[in-house]
């Protein structure tokens, strides 16, 4: 048995911690409004929850300044993230779900599944390290390799990149990306960028690829890695 003195967090609390983790990962402390936007909850409600989370020492809160996860908060967030991502893997690989249909299901199950279930699923999958959208899966003891990736929106014309990860929240966007051939592992060359956040024209695929164009908003949800010379 692992050492888990955790007093069991409610589903809303787990969702807040995940959101804060994700916001903090990108940059500075998470702001009330950003959390509210992400969870589709009023800022006032977020304020209230921040007080409760701070009382439980899951975050530190500087009023008007934002919020940071404590060690315990980070651990809890990573635990939920692990559950979510293993569930996504399992639903796709074992139960035949589509790429774009797993997020919501995993979102609900992650709060109900026991550690035992998650670990059984992980074992069945061969303990994967990335989920189907390319997100790294935290280990049981709370380690993640959180690569600082650029997005397609940051890439310059002429560059060759490999898609590493895409945001999984929005089923429709995922469906569209899949249609374009943009999924983890895909090769992309940037052919052109229209100014003022205009569409990005790119070449998707290995040798026999195709030319496509995507908007800047969507491009910011596609994380890529520059390709080594070859």
Partner DNA sequence: AAAATTGTTTAGGTTACCCTAAATATCCAA
Partner DNA sequence: TTGGATATTTAGGGTAACCTAAACAATTTT
| Sheet containing 150-151, strands listed edge to edge, beginning at the edge strand earlier in sequence | 150-151, 222-226, 160-166, 187-193, 200-204, 210-214
Quick one: 49 or 152, whose CB is closer to DNA?
49
Q: How far apart are CA 160 and CA 124, in angstroms?
A: 35
Minimum CB separation of residue 5 from its own copies in Å reads: 20
C-alpha to C-alpha distance for 126 and 89, rounded to whole angstroms: 11
Helices 71-93 & 115-124, crossing angle to 10 degrees?
50
Q: Which stretch binds its own copies (CB under 8 A): 77-85, 91-99, 164-172, 184-192?
A: 91-99
Cβ at position 99, least distance to its own copies in Å: 15
For residue 50, state whether it binds DNA (rule: CB under 7 A). yes
Query: What CA dihedral angle connects 205, 160, 182 and 34, to 10 degrees?
Result: 180
Q: Tell me the site size for DNA, rule CB under 7 A.
A: 25
DSSP 145: -
User: Do 86 and 125 touch, CB atoms closer than 8 A?
Assistant: yes
Q: Which does residue 95 bind out of its own copies, DNA, none, counting CB within 5 to 8 angstroms by kind? A: its own copies
Supply angle C-alpha 12, 40, 84, rounded to 5.
50
Considering only residues 62 to 101 of the shown chain, the ones binding DNA according to CB under 7 A are 63-64, 66
Query: Which residues inside 163-202 make contact with DNA, applying CB under 7 A?
Result: none
- Find which of its own copies, DNA, none residue 25 binds, CB within 5 to 8 Å per kind: none
114 to 133: interface string for its own copies, x by CB under 8 A:
x-xx--xx--x---------
**Is 61 one of the binding residues for DNA (CB under 7 A)?**
yes
Could you say whether residue 109 binds its own copies (CB under 8 A)? yes
Residue 114 neighbours by CB distance under 10 Å:
9
What would the two tokens of residue 191 be?
A: 């052919």
- Which parts of this chain interact with DNA (CB under 7 A)? 10, 12-13, 16, 31-34, 40-52, 61, 63-64, 66
The residue ranges that bind its own copies (CB under 8 A) are 91, 94-97, 104-105, 108-109, 111-114, 116-117, 120-121, 124
């Amino acid at each position: 048995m692992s050492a888990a003195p955790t007093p069991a967090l409610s589903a809303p609390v787990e969702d807040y911690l995940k959101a804060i983790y994700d916001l903090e990962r990108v940059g500075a402390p998470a702001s009330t409004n950003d959390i509210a936007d992400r969870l589709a909850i009023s800022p006032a409600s977020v304020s209230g929850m921040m007080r409760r989370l701070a009382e439980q020492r899951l975050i530190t809160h500087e009023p008007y300044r934002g919020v940071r996860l404590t060690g315990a908060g980070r651990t809890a967030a990573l635990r939920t993230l692990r559950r979510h991502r293993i569930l996504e893997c399992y639903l796709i690989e074992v139960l035949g779900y589509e790429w774009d249909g797993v997020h919501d299901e995993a979102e609900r199950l992650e709060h109900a599944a026991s550690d035992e279930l998650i670990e059984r699923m992980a074992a069945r999958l061969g303990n994967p390290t990335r989920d189907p959208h390319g997100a790294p899966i935290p280990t049981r003891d709370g380690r993640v390799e959180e690569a600082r990736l650029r997005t397609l929106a940051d890439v310059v014309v002429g560059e060759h990149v490999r898609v590493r990860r895409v945001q999984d929240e929005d089923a429709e966007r995922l469906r569209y990306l899949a249609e374009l051939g943009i999924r983890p592992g895909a090769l992309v060359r940037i052919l052109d960028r229209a100014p003022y956040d205009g569409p990005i024209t790119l070449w998707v695929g290995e040798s026999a690829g195709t030319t496509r164009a995507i908007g800047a908003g969507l491009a910011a949800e596609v994380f890529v890695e520059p390709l080594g010379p070859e």
